[in-house]
Amino acid sequence: MEILDINEFLERVQNDKGLLWELLDIFVEDFGQKRTQLREALQGHDAAQVRKLAHAIRGSSANISAHQLAAVLAELEKKGKDNDLGGADVLLADMDKKFEALLARVSRLREELK
């Protein structure tokens, strides 16, 4: 599975490439802010906040068809819901890795869709 299902995303935005880029730019900016908040929630052992933030980022990830990223966030969300943050740092590192892969894919996509 690709880090970004571009065909699904294009279908979702009805092939409106302007909207696609607008949504991707918003996602990247929002991700940075929420990621910082998520790290702080994990450091503070705030399971409810981890659940809330992971849920929000998961939804945004799914909306742009970044399903691998959404899957990791679903696991983080469950940890928050279960009030069990053990291993969440590993998931956070995996989330970061997948986000970096997404950024690389978006960069290549900008060249492909010029």
Instruction: Indicate whether 29 belongs to any domain.
Output: yes
Instruction: Indicate whether 114 belongs to any domain.
Output: no
Q: The domain containing residue 12 runs over which residues?
A: 6-105
Q: Averaged over 65-87, what is the pLDDT?
A: 98
| Chain centroid, CA 53 distance in Å | 11
Instruction: Indicate whether 58 belongs to any domain.
Output: yes
Phi/psi for 87 (5° steps) reads 80, 0
Q: What is the DSSP letter of 2?
A: -
Q: Averaged over 85-108, what is the pLDDT?
A: 96
Q: What is the pLDDT of residues 37-64, one digit of tens each?
A: 999 999 999 999 999 999 999 999 999 9
Res 24 pLDDT > 90: yes
Res 77 pLDDT > 90: yes
Instruction: Indicate whether 28 belongs to any domain.
Output: yes
Q: How confident is the model at residue 112 (pLDDT cuts 50, 70, 90)?
A: confident
Q: What CATH code is carried by the domain that includes residue 17?
A: 1.20.120.160
Domain count, the chain: 1
Instruction: Indicate whether 89 belongs to any domain.
Output: yes
Res 4 pLDDT > 80: yes
Q: How confident is the model at residue 113 (pLDDT cuts 50, 70, 90)?
A: confident
Instruction: Indicate whether 111 belongs to any domain.
Output: no
Res 18 pLDDT > 90: yes
Q: Are 53 and 41 in contact (CB under 8 A)?
A: yes
